[in-house]
Structure 1
Amino acid sequence: MLAVICDDRAADREILLGFCARYAKEKHLPIANLEFENAGALLNSREARSADVMFLDIYMDGALGVDAARILRGKGYRGALVFITTSTEHYADGFDVEAAHYLLKPVSWDAFCEAMRRVQNRMQITTRRVRVIVGRDEVDIDVSGIKYIEVYGHKTVLHTIKGELAVNQSLSALEKALGGDPFLRCYRYFIVNMDFVKRLNKDGLLMQDGREIPLSRDGRAALKSRYMAYVFARMEE
């Protein structure tokens, strides 16, 4: 596991580094660390983008941790984000970038362990893969990177964080393979990953990339209810 620690206070970084080392020893889990003292240095690091978890201080000189998180998500980072803060003021911002947890300073060992438990649970979910057929080949795709799937013409196209991928499977077959939440068959020609929905509109779902995907007229109320139930379940987690 690669853990990034970004905090402008050296003493706070040292505490988290110590907790990482202790957790690695007790759980028999190798953990490598990268340290950054500001968001700018973090955003300029290519190596950091492969991290499994980032511990981001919200209040730093320069860019805030939540601002850095938005930029990272915009560039396709899908790892876990854990915010470190002295206030609950930015909790709503954390939801927007799918924060796994918050740690209030001074960070305790028990709170750190709870954050790592959530991170590991998230890693198990986000590494789930689905097998698709591309031409004559079978390819395993990380389901967490699928934003939405659509059918147009005679093509089934996966829109992923890495680009578009045309596959030789029906939407119904993919719906079955994906197995429910966070995937929602919202229209005859679309399946959306609800983790990539920015907002629920009157007649559709606005995706984070700006695409608006319609909701089926038949069962629209039920689709809206299912989406809202998923959102509230995430908030409770």
Structure 2
Amino acid sequence: MKFAVIQFPGSNCDIDMLHAISDALGEEAKYVWHAEESLEGFDAVLLPGGFSYGDYLRTGAIAKFANIMPEVMRFAREGKPVLGVCNGFQILTEAGLLPGALIRNDNLHFICKTVPLRVENAETIFTNQYKDAEVIDIPVAHGEGNYYCDEKTLQELEANHQIVFRYAGENPNGSVASIAGIVNAAGNVLGMMPHPERAVEEIVGGTDGLKLFQSILTSFKEAYQSASK
């Protein structure tokens, strides 16, 4: 399986993401610069954390106009895996690939620590290696990770089981309904504020994030085997 790690000016978690795929997962991953216009040959797209375009205007607001974004949208339309972490989540909401918005943390401070997450839906292509209600420890590092949506959208997310992760216990940023990660209605686009790519090795504190990438790989292999029959 071949993963594209999109690099924007200001990305700073792209190296972590590439390492998670190539070293921890053992699959192929390559950087794709934001000015490129093709994702041919790739099977999944990863939008890493950081401060794309310096977070000018709003986080992710300029990145959505990058040359590569029409290809990211094509991937989403075709049902291929698209994962946005932290700034990547912000970009996905700005681009309209996920509902809602990410706003300033309630306490107006940058948060950097490991937090417990509860897996709310273990039946997605991103979570099939977890168990429902499993609690995992994943680092967060953001100043604008407070997920917001209106009541109607929240009801739709709940009804469609699109809320994939919630903060377990303390809500670190004020996100509505303690939401930490959501998928689109089709289930192939995931946005989350916590950083699973920073939790793939015991030496850095744990491997709870590795199952997310293993889930993507498992789903890909199952889909490939089904197509081959």
TM-score when scaled to structure 1? 0.39
The structure in which a higher percent of residues are strand is 1
Q: Report the structure number with the largest CA radius of gyration.
A: 1
Answer 1 or 2: higher relative contact order, Cα 8 Å, separation at least 6.
2
